[in-house]
Amino acid sequence: MMYELTDGYEACRIINGYWQLSAKHNENQTSTPVEDTAEFVDAGLTTFDCADHYTGVEELLGEFRNWYRREHGTDLPVQIHTKIVPDRNRLESVSRAYIEGIVDRSRRRLCVDALDLVQFHWWDYSVKNYVDAARHLADLRDEGKIRHIGVTNFDAPRLEALLDAGVPVVSNQVQYSLLDTRPEREMVDLCERRDMKLLCYGTLAGGFLTSKFAGEPDPGEATDLENRSLTKYKLIIEEVGGWEAYQNLLGTVSDIADKHGVSIANVATRYVLEKPRVGSAIVGARNTRHIESNQRTLAFELDDEDHRTIEVARAHLAEVPGGVYSVERDQDSRHAKIMNYNLNQKQDN
């Protein structure tokens, strides 16, 4: 199901998240990406999320685009959202040439003249030239290399600064889930005032908000888990009160899922999709196994009683502190310590 993300541009309410296909995400990856991508497109899930620093993923989508042209003699009917994540150790010297170099590399890899949506990330607000960097993106948009500009993980004051500087930002990609409602603190209000959409990741907490872990014992240290998403969201579970508190919430969600004849994952995604200013949920797509299930998310609605029940259960959790991405930005936090900061310079051209 598509909606108008911004004037004249439509995207799917469920976006296929391709971080899961990055070489750095999970070294035991076993899927067949071009065939899988064709299956997503055939199922009507035509919007993909990737990034300049998801190793190998832009190239894969470019390869798929060329394969599709050869097979069908026509251009691919997809929307590909990428990111621009300047390396942390280069922030002071980010220039127009640096930004344009990354944008041109994404255009080459994705085999397009204009990128559909480029989502800008900035690691450290104490390095102030993020407004200039975003202005370079706006210039590249005016020149036709980019169709639309988004941001990712921006907090409300810094995003407003970009908007006030005339950068036409249409969306913010943020973590938003049953466990993490930080966007509700200031971001939803800003999106309302400045007519932007939220594109939400972490809606399934890497798989924790599915039946896979329901009733299971605590799998242990975040850093020992199977892939990088599980590591990231295990830390969020610890923020909101730990394994038992999370299992209690999962029990409530499971009852609501039974009532509608759907899965825990469907209810978790639906919860986010029904929130104000949410355009899409970005659901990690390691393979095609969950296509039918994720389509079911779009075929039912939570009722008022469900929302009330969920909020009562959520009230037993602690809140993730701060605004969007603030605990991740804190260099001393466990969230910051698991991140890779300088992946751009390691990529081939």
Ligand X SMILES: NC(=O)c1ccc[n+]([C@@H]2O[C@H](COP(=O)([O-])OP(=O)(O)OC[C@H]3O[C@@H](n4cnc5c(N)ncnc54)[C@H](OP(=O)(O)O)[C@@H]3O)[C@@H](O)[C@H]2O)c1
Q: At its nearest, how many Å lie between ligand X and the CB of residue 142? A: 25
Cα–Cα distances (Å) from 193 to 140, 158, 186, 304, 337, in that order, read 26, 15, 11, 26, 34
Total residues binding ligand X (CB under 6 A)? 26
- Candidates 134-142, 164-172, 215-223, 290-298; binding stretch for ligand X (CB under 6 A): 290-298
Q: At its nearest, how many Å lie between ligand X and the CB of residue 148? A: 16
Query: Which of residues 112 and 283 has its CB atom nearest to ligand X in the complex?
Result: 283
Q: Find the binder of ligand X among 64, 294, 310, 313 (CB under 6 A).
A: 294
Cα distance between residue 64 and residue 46, in whole Å: 12
The structure tokens listed for 130 are 């993020």
Q: Find the binder of ligand X among 284, 288, 313, 329 (CB under 6 A).
A: 284
Nearest position to ligand X, beta carbon: 17
Query: Which of residues 68 and 154 has its CB atom nearest to ligand X in the complex?
Result: 154
Q: Select from 255, 112, 232 the least CA-distant residue to 177.
A: 232
Determine the length of the chain.
349
DSSP lists the bridge partners of residue 199 as 173, 280
Query: Which of residues 2 and 339 has its CB atom nearest to ligand X in the complex?
Result: 339
Cα distance between residue 61 and residue 94, in whole Å: 27
Q: At its nearest, how many Å lie between ligand X and the CB of residue 19? A: 3
For the chain, helix (H) and strand (E) counts, in that order, are 13, 10
By CB under 6 A, the residues from 143 to 162 that bind ligand X are 152-153
Give the x/- contact pattern for ligand X in 164-183, rule: CB under 6 A.
Answer: ---------x----------
Cα distance between residue 83 and residue 66, in whole Å: 21
Give the x/- contact pattern for ligand X in 248-267, rule: CB under 6 A.
Answer: ---------------x-x--
Name the CA radius of gyration of the chain, rounded: 19
* Helix runs in the chain, H state only: 33-42, 57-72, 96-110, 130-142, 156-164, 187-194, 228-239, 243-260, 264-273, 291-296, 304-314, 326-329, 334-337
Query: Which of residues 188 and 204 has its CB atom nearest to ligand X in the complex?
Result: 204
Cα distance between residue 234 and residue 229, in whole Å: 8
84 phi/psi in degrees, rounded to 5: -130, 115
- Candidates 197-205, 217-225, 272-280, 341-349; binding stretch for ligand X (CB under 6 A): 197-205
Please tell me whether residue 20 binds ligand X under the rule CB under 6 A.
Answer: yes
Please tell me whether residue 327 binds ligand X under the rule CB under 6 A.
Answer: no
Give the x/- contact pattern for ligand X in 24-63, rule: CB under 6 A.
Answer: -------------------------x--------------
- Spatial CB neighbours of 231, under 8 Å, sequence gap ≥ 6: 222, 223, 225, 338
Please tell me whether residue 229 binds ligand X under the rule CB under 6 A.
Answer: yes
Note whether 209 and 268 are within 8 A (CB): yes
Please tell me whether residue 187 binds ligand X under the rule CB under 6 A.
Answer: no
Cα distance between residue 264 and residue 260, in whole Å: 10
By CB under 6 A, the residues from 94 to 133 that bind ligand X are none
Please tell me whether residue 234 binds ligand X under the rule CB under 6 A.
Answer: no
Binding site for ligand X (CB under 6 A): 17-20, 49, 152-153, 173, 201-207, 210, 229, 263, 265, 282-284, 286, 290, 293-294
